[in-house]
Every structure is written in C-alpha cells, then in structure tokens.
Structure 1
C-alpha cells in the first residue's frame, strides 16, 4: 500500500521489485489519471487507485482492503516542500507535512515493513530537523520496528541518468530486520548522451538539417559525459514548466539541452525552431524528461504538457525504488524461510560525499 503515489515512480519500482499493490493513494487529479492509465495488467489486478486527501480519509476502507491478509509494506513519498532546501523548511509546522498521517497508518495497518522517501533537506543540515527525526524514530520503535537506515541515496548510483539525492527511511520488524542488506548500486553510470540518444535521433529525423543538429547535440553531450542535474517539477502556483533553476539550466546547456521550457511531444511539434533548432539546443519532451527520471517509455503521463511534466519532475525514480524494494523482499523471504541472518553492519546506505550533492531539487 502506498500513499502520496504521485505519477507512480515508487509504485512502478516496487512493482518491478516484486510487490503487488493493493492501493495507491494520490490527490492530484492528473497523477490519478496517470496511475489509472498505467497500473494495469499482471501484478496490478487488485490495486485500487484512491483519489484521497490524506488530511481526511477512511482508515476503515484501508483496513478492509488489507482484509485478513498481512500487509508486507507500507510505502510513501510524503510531501517534500516542508523539508526542501529550496523552500522555507517549516517542517512539522508546515500544513503539508504528512509524517503524522504515515505514522498513524503504520500503527493501524501494522505492515511488516515501512519505506518513506523525501528530499535530502530532511537530513541536511543535520541539526535542523533532528528533534523531529528522533520523535519519528521513537514512534516507529515503540511500535516494534527497527530503523534500518535513514540516509541519502543518490539516484545516479542506481542507473538513473540524473543527480537526484533522496532521503530514504526503511524500518522492519524482527526477524526480517536482521536479514536486511543494503541495496546494490549499479556498476555503471548512465550518461545523458546514452539515455537520450535514441529519442534524439527520432526527434531530429533524417533530413540534412536534422542530422546536423543531432550530431551537434551528441558531440556536446558526449564531451560533457555526465548525468543530468536534478529535474524540478515546480508547483501549480508558478507558470509553465522548465528544467530547473538558473544553475540547473547552465548544467543542461553544457549537455546541449535548452532548459528554458519543455518541448511539444514528438509528432506534434508546433514550432520546430523553438523545440529542436534553437541556439541553446533542443528542449526535452515530457517523454525524454521521464527517461531522465528512470521511467520506461511505455509509462504514459496524462494531462497537458505542463501538468504531465510536473508529474515527471516531482517523481521518485523507479530504479531507486526497485533497488530498495528488492532488499526489503529478500529480507522478508529470508525471515519466512527461517534462515540465519547475515553478519552485516547495521545501516542502510553508505554516506554520500557533499561533492555529489551540488545540485538540489
């Protein structure tokens, strides 16, 4: 079961890890449409999409969904603005803070494991929300959970072509907790040039002009040879979508991409000079932004361009969720099999050096 499911980044990753969802809870109507459109087929048959406001919802309905079975995992990406380094960092004083709701759900539903995702601002600077983190930890421990880690995980280490540090909390009960091992990072960094090559070839086409501009983009992206800056989804209070603040736009420019807006979908381009042939390079389509977040091409975002891009920009990369989910499943299955726990140091993730976190979301 998952709260604050957004456009399904975490849900897709956990699905790929082997979980079968019973419910996805999300309030944004465009994201609800995206979930309904994509969460279908094998493994999704019993999943209910609940368009709920979590400040007032039906806990009895959730208990009914779980029924007599055991809930293996309660997951959620609780709202980030209360803790974002780019915001006011009001924390628990922010009306958007849903940690209390998540903890209430843990107490009522008694899942075997809990996974909570948020921005790194919740953990950095360390002293800012220290008391709040300690109270959250104490609450979970009072319910019988062991905190297996609450650290920053970098998306690029899991095959996502983007700098996207996220704070991940995992808590489990014994005996499964003793079997939990850190998720394995990818052995290879995926660059923007590699990730977008095929879609850029298709967008530019086979005309002489298109080939010329494709080659120019490819050379620029390969020379930089790195991952993308953090995509920023923004909020409904602001205007049209772009790829981030000034510093992020400069980083995109070094990769041959114009970060000052989002292109029309391929095949529906109204202004090629703006979307493909501008002096700053091509703009990304929503579909390409989704690739930068680690989504597969067949995950289709609903709503008009700006609404769809915001869903992408605010998403949790599926490969990161999958890696953590696989570690949780291995621990649950090992406990069920009665295996002896491994001799592994406690802790979820290796520390992330500050130099890896130069771009923020």
Structure 2
C-alpha cells in the first residue's frame, strides 16, 4: 500500500505508518533540522526510513502531479501551534494553520484513507466553530473556498452540502477521537486528536483501536500486588507511601481486577539506561546530561512512577518543566534527548540531529511512534479487507461469465 506523508517532522507518525505496511511515495517536511534528522538516519542505514523520498519543502509549494498511481493513505500532523496551549491560539488567523493544505492534498490525491493528528486544544470550546469547519472540509474536500470567500461563508456552503445528502467517491466518512497515548502503552500522558477518513465509495466500517493499558492496572500493580516494584527491584523500604486520596480507589481494585495492561511509566521507559549525571560514557545515542533544570509554578516535571507529562515543543522554545524527570528524592533534572525519544517510543538506534533545544523541539512536536503505528495498522487492516472483498467479487463475477 502507498502513502504520502505530510508535515513529517522527525518522523514519528511516518515511521508508524511505514511499520504498519505503507510505503511512502513522498515525505514532505519544511524544517531543515527535522530533515537532517531523517537524512542522518538514512545515511546510517536505518531500515524504517531508508529509501524514504524526502522533500525538504513547504507543503504549500509541493505539487502532487508527479505522484504516480493510486494513493492508499495520506497522513500527517499539521502544525499545532495555532491550537495548542503553548501556542498563540489564533486558529485560522495564524499563518501556520496548515489544515487548508491538508485538505488540498486529500482533494488532489483522492486517497482511500487519511490519518490527521493534532493537539487536543483544537477541541476547545473557543475553536468549536472552526473545528466543525475543519471536519466538513475533510468530509467534502471538493467543496473549495471561493476567491475572497470568508471562512464562515465557506462553512455555510459546506453545511448546506452536508445536509443535501450528496455523497460520492470524492467525499469521505470521517471519525475523530482524542486519544491518550498512555492508554496504548506509551510511557507518556499525551492527548491528541486524530481524524481518520475513508473514501465514501469504499463503504468501510471502522472504529478506533481499543485501549490496551490503564491507570487502574498500574495502581493494582503498584499497591495491590506490588509486582511493579518487584519488577524494578525497588526494596520495600525505598517504595513511596500511597497518597491518601488513592486509598478508596485502590481498595476497590482489590475486588475489581483491571483487565488491561498497566500504564507504562517513566521508570519503565528509562529501564536499563545509565544515569546521565554519572560520566560513564555515552553508551546510548543522544544520552547526554543537560544541566540547569529547576521547578517553578506550572513546571514541576514528571514523577518517575507515572507516565511522563506531555513533552512539549513550545512556541518560544522548550518549556523546561514538562521535559524534566522528578527523581524519587524529589530532585529534578532534564530528560536527555534519548530518554525523551524513549518516552515517544522511538527506537534507541534512531539518532536526532541538532542541539538539545532543537532536538527536544522535534520530539515535542512528534507523534509517539507506537501510537501512530497502532492507528495506521488498524486503517491498513480495513483497507486490506476492502481489497479482499473486491477480489472476491471479481472472482465471483469471472466464474459467472
């Protein structure tokens, strides 16, 4: 199956899509540092990105006319700063709003499906009208805004088109959901909205993959069975005391045993890695201590025995607090680039290009590879079923003739 990957960044979603079985026809990213990261991994022979047709280009200047054959999937995460808590919250007024370019790609390529990811902030009430505008454009990409047409007027035309009941091979069935990466085994509480669309003529029935991990299962492992502490070799005398507000919840877990796997934590993610403050040599790529970490209101770091807080890029650089580890002693230090990569489920063999600030920005903008792969694999299964059904119909028709 063939894919076109937009707004690739350091490659999190793109690598997840590739691991799900899609081969990219084009990988488009404008940021030089992110492109250098991909190129450096290609030069090292990384099998996931090796052979990616990378275009270091603003997607607004990318032409889809040279892409041969049918495209099965368009995937990408348009710049999230217009909608993020760390951005300026300007939505359509922000020049970085790339949803119109995302819709253009879908309109011109007519893929069988698409996966579009963005920040949870897009679902805020203040963006409700614009959120609806984005959704309807994804459903009806052929209904293009007219020259000098205000977006609210375009929204009105889209609403009228939707209520007319007109559906054909140029329209899409779109579903969306906010996914918490921790509920899919990622050691990070990262909430992102995913739009997934299938071309109407394919008649696909699809829903988001079921969650596999839970907080209750983590609590059960920590405070009911103690298996979590045993797994990490934490002696009973060194285990933290349970907070009072958790007691009622934990007592209930003695009766109702969670059926899912437990959340993965920062301690899980960092298992087997040397302490970067101990100068033992850089055994792991990008695993270098970064001094200067401190706490301040709103930036208190990630406790080691929970999934990390959301790694952030920030519109004015990297906000330190969310990218800090809180040690069992209560002291804090910055995550190294390699530790952050593990929190984003990148493989240890994947190297990041640039300074600490620059590489942390790339990681803060990335989709966790494991989450991207999970969603893309589910989409791939649906498309393969379509192919299988079409083949069966063709064979049945051939037998009748």
Spell out, residue by residue over 1:28-49, the C-alpha distance to the aligned partner (whole angstroms, 9 max, x if none): 1110011122255656565211
Spell out, residue by residue over 1:145-166, the C-alpha distance to the aligned partner (whole angstroms, 9 max, x if none): 4344222100111111111100
User: Aligned partners of 1:226, 1:70: CA distance in 2, in Å?
Assistant: 44
How do 1:212-291 and structure 2 match up within 5 A? 225-235=305-315, 237-238=316-317, 241=318, 243-244=320-321, 252-253=325-326, 280-291=331-342
User: Aligned partners of 1:337, 1:320: CA distance in 2, in Å?
Assistant: 26
Counterpart residue number, 2:97: 97
Structure 1 vs Structure 2 CA RMSD: 2.8
Residue 225 (structure 1) shift: 2.4
Spell out, residue by residue over 1:207-242, the C-alpha distance to the aligned partner (whole angstroms, 9 max, x if none): xxxxxxxxxxxxxx9x9621111111234x44xx45
SS of residue matched to 1:14? helix
Spell out, residue by residue over 1:286-316, the C-alpha distance to the aligned partner (whole angstroms, 9 max, x if none): 1111111111101110112221121112211
Change (3 A) 1:282 1:131: closer
Residue 80 (structure 1) shift: 0.7
Residue 131 (structure 1) shift: 2.1
Residue 178 (structure 1) shift: 2.3
SS of residue matched to 1:199? coil
CA contact (8 A) 1:231 1:243 kept: no
Spell out, residue by residue over 1:305-342, the C-alpha distance to the aligned partner (whole angstroms, 9 max, x if none): 22112111221111110011011100000011118xxx
SS of residue matched to 2:27? strand
CA contact (8 A) 2:46 2:350 kept: no
Spell out, residue by residue over 1:143-193, the C-alpha distance to the aligned partner (whole angstroms, 9 max, x if none): 534344222100111111111100110011145452323223333311111
Residue 5 (structure 1) shift: 0.5
User: Aligned partners of 2:140, 2:265: CA distance in 1, in Å?
Assistant: 43
Change (3 A) 1:43 1:320: closer
User: Aligned partners of 2:78, 2:57: CA distance in 1, in Å?
Assistant: 14
Residue 75 (structure 1) shift: 0.9
TM-score (norm 2): 0.66
Structure 2 unaligned residues grouped into runs of 5+: 142-169, 213-260, 281-300, 391-401
Q: Does 1:152 align with 2:178?
A: yes
TM-score (norm 1): 0.73
Change (3 A) 1:135 1:253: same
Q: Select the residue among 320, 335, 342 that pairs with 2:371.
A: 320
Counterpart residue number, 2:382: 331
Change (3 A) 1:203 1:152: same
Q: Does 1:16 align with 2:19?
A: yes
CA contact (8 A) 1:137 1:147 kept: no
Change (3 A) 1:204 1:175: farther
CA contact (8 A) 1:230 1:244 kept: no
Counterpart residue number, 1:260: none
Residue 281 (structure 1) shift: 4.5
Change (3 A) 1:110 1:118: same
Give the number of the structure with larger relative contact order, counting CA–CA contacts within 8 Å between residues 6 or more apart. 1
Residue 142 (structure 1) shift: 2.6
User: Aligned partners of 2:304, 2:337: CA distance in 1, in Å?
Assistant: 22
